[in-house]
Amino acid sequence: MKIMNIKEVKSAIEHLERLNIEDGCAYEKAILVYSTIEKLPKLTASISKGTILFRARIHKEHEEYKFFEKISDISLQLSSDIESFGRCNKPGQSKFYCSIDRPTSFAELLTSLTDKKKGNKIYVTIGRWRLKTSLSAVIVTTPDKENRICEYDQKYGSRLDNFIEQSEPDIREATVILYRFLFEKFRAGQKDKDINTYTITAAYCNSVLDHLQSDVDSIYYPSVRLPKQGVNFAINNEFVRLENIELIGAMKNELSVDSVQNGYPSCREIGKIDAQQIDVNNNRIIW
């Protein structure tokens, strides 16, 4: 039986690094490259029923004083509205991005607001979502202990160590090389946020979350903006149904830009309004 090996993994990484971002088929080529890795390893975790997750939607300029009145307004985006690659999605693919805490839920979204200046206001509505069933998640962490700077990497890094140790001897080093590469791409900072990086990470996510081959529903990875405390999820849209996850609260935040660092706004909260009621049966948020 054929197994993953060092030569195969190194060759795949070389091909991924050489992807031409001007090539209209770069993403499809990345998917094919991942398919050449025999038994693409997948470290998973189960997130408990009852866990609270936070999802943010930044208001566009014409929406600044609007209150989103439908649950669907702050749930999954329409696929037709997604024009670019994200960390875990390709264009035209909707993922339910959310975080384990409220600050992280909008911290990374602020990186898209490069036109903001000191004193500008930003409005964001944050939903609190509760898991009604457990959520299966793919872990992306590092095999190198010196790079485990946050609680997430320390916890799941130990899991990865055990995962590698229990692997067949011939594939252990190949697994280390692959996870080292994935860790680098998933933790790429904002300066490295380009279509090539996101093509590589999105293709990996869709390779391991393919429902024809997998029963895993999400990717679980630390925040780039808040690496020591923030943790994110990218959940398959098929999971986002009332029997699996429900909105239990919503808050509209008013933020003020205190400074602009490296081209991106740093904000503080100056106002908030809580929703009075969530009417799930009628798809309504009552303010």
Residue 19 lies in a domain: no
Residue 6 lies in a domain: no
Note down pLDDT in tens along the chain; length 287 residues.
Answer: 566 889 999 999 999 999 987 888 999 999 999 999 988 888 999 999 999 999 999 898 788 888 999 999 999 988 888 888 889 999 999 999 999 999 888 877 776 676 777 888 889 999 999 999 999 999 999 999 999 999 999 999 999 999 999 888 878 999 999 999 999 999 886 554 466 899 999 999 999 987 545 689 999 999 887 878 889 999 999 999 999 999 999 999 998 888 877 767 778 888 999 999 999 999 999 99
Q: For residues 242 and 246, what is the distance between their CA atoms, to the nearest angstrom?
A: 6
Which helix (H) or strand (E) segment holds residue 246: the answer is strand 245-261
Residue 139 lies in a domain: yes
Q: For residues 168 and 170, what is the distance between their CA atoms, to the nearest angstrom?
A: 6
Both tokens of 34, joined, read: 């991942």
Residue 205 lies in a domain: yes
Residue 130 lies in a domain: yes
Q: What are phi and psi of 56, to 5 degrees?
A: -110, 145
Residue 109 lies in a domain: yes
Which helix (H) or strand (E) segment holds residue 62: the answer is none
Residue 10 lies in a domain: no
Q: Domain range spanning residue 155?
A: 42-170+182-287
CA dihedral 99, 105, 108, 109 (to 10 degrees): 130
Instruction: State how many domains the chain has.
Output: 1
Residue 5 lies in a domain: no
